[in-house]
């Protein structure tokens, strides 16, 4: 994911990335399990409320780690991307019709707003980064599939099935040292962004937002690693 983001912003000017090791995927899994089990996807249902509170806490921690990583104050020209795999397969044509997708993004947007509205953040907006969510359905591999212009219908596949189809294995740790670069990362180029924008709806807000990054010096990536 960091490679994808850097590919987007590098041509616009000097930019560096920092990987912020906060595990949003744990919160997402808890939400996925509880919401699915109870059939509760409403914004004010317990699974959603718990996810929002968890994300608010994660953002506070990630912003502090981001500041420490770049050894200076943050500014409004810095970008923090909250990214994770949803582990839920969704077809492209269903994008605006599946309740859980809409709810997840509204939860993250609400958590970001709550962070900005915290009393200690209200008077120093110029020292807060732009925070953008990116949840991929079912996984980051949809970016690779789109970039490679694969001949099969990859939207709607389970994450493990998509990995198997793309890389010949469901566990990326099984790839040789140069395997991930050769089979995935090398395809994340500027030329691939148009295809990604077309095929991966969840990437569109981020792609549009990062056109603004010609003014950015640093961006942080909330990694699930």
Domain presence at residue 51: yes
∠ Cα 71 75 77 (to 5°): 120
Domain presence at residue 22: yes
Q: Which two tokens stand for residue 116?
A: 């900005």
Domain presence at residue 96: yes
Instruction: List the domain range (segments joined by +) for residue 55.
Output: 2-139+205-222
Domain presence at residue 110: yes
Domain presence at residue 83: yes
- Least confidently predicted of 46-55, 101-110, 170-179, 197-206: 170-179
Domain presence at residue 6: yes
**How many independent structural domains does the chain possess?**
1
Domain presence at residue 111: yes
Distances (CA, A) of 39 to 32, 108, 111, 172: 10, 20, 22, 32
Q: Which two tokens stand for residue 209?
A: 């937002």
What is the band of 95 on the pLDDT scale with cuts at 50, 70, 90? low
pTM of the entire predicted model? 0.84
**Which tens digit of pLDDT belongs to each residue from 117-141?**
998 888 888 889 989 999 999 999 9
Domain presence at residue 199: no
């Amino acid at each position: 994911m960091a490679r994808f983001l850097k590919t987007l912003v590098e041509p616009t000017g000097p930019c560096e990335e920092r990987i912020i090791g906060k595990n949003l995927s744990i919160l997402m899994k808890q939400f996925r399990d509880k919401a699915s089990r109870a059939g509760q996807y409403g914004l004010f249902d317990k699974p959603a409320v718990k996810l929002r509170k968890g994300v608010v806490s994660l953002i506070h921690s990630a912003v502090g780690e981001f500041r420490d990583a770049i050894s200076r104050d943050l500014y409004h020209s810095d970008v923090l991307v909250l990214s994770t795999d949803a582990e839920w397969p969704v077809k492209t044509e269903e994008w605006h019709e599946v309740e859980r997708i809409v709810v997840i993004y509204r939860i993250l947007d609400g958590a970001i707003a709550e962070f900005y509205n915290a009393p200690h953040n209200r008077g120093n907006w110029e020292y807060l980064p732009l925070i953008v969510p990116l949840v991929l359905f079912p996984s980051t591999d949809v970016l690779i599939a789109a970039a490679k212009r694969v001949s099969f219908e990859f939207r709607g596949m389970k994450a493990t099935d998509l990995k198997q189809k793309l890389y010949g294995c469901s566990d990326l740790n099984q790839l040789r040292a140069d395997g991930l670069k050769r089979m995935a990362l090398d395809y994340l180029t500027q030329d691939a962004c148009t295809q990604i924008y077309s095929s991966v709806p969840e990437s569109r807000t981020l792609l549009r937002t990062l056109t603004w990054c010609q003014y950015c010096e640093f961006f942080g990536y909330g990694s699930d690693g």
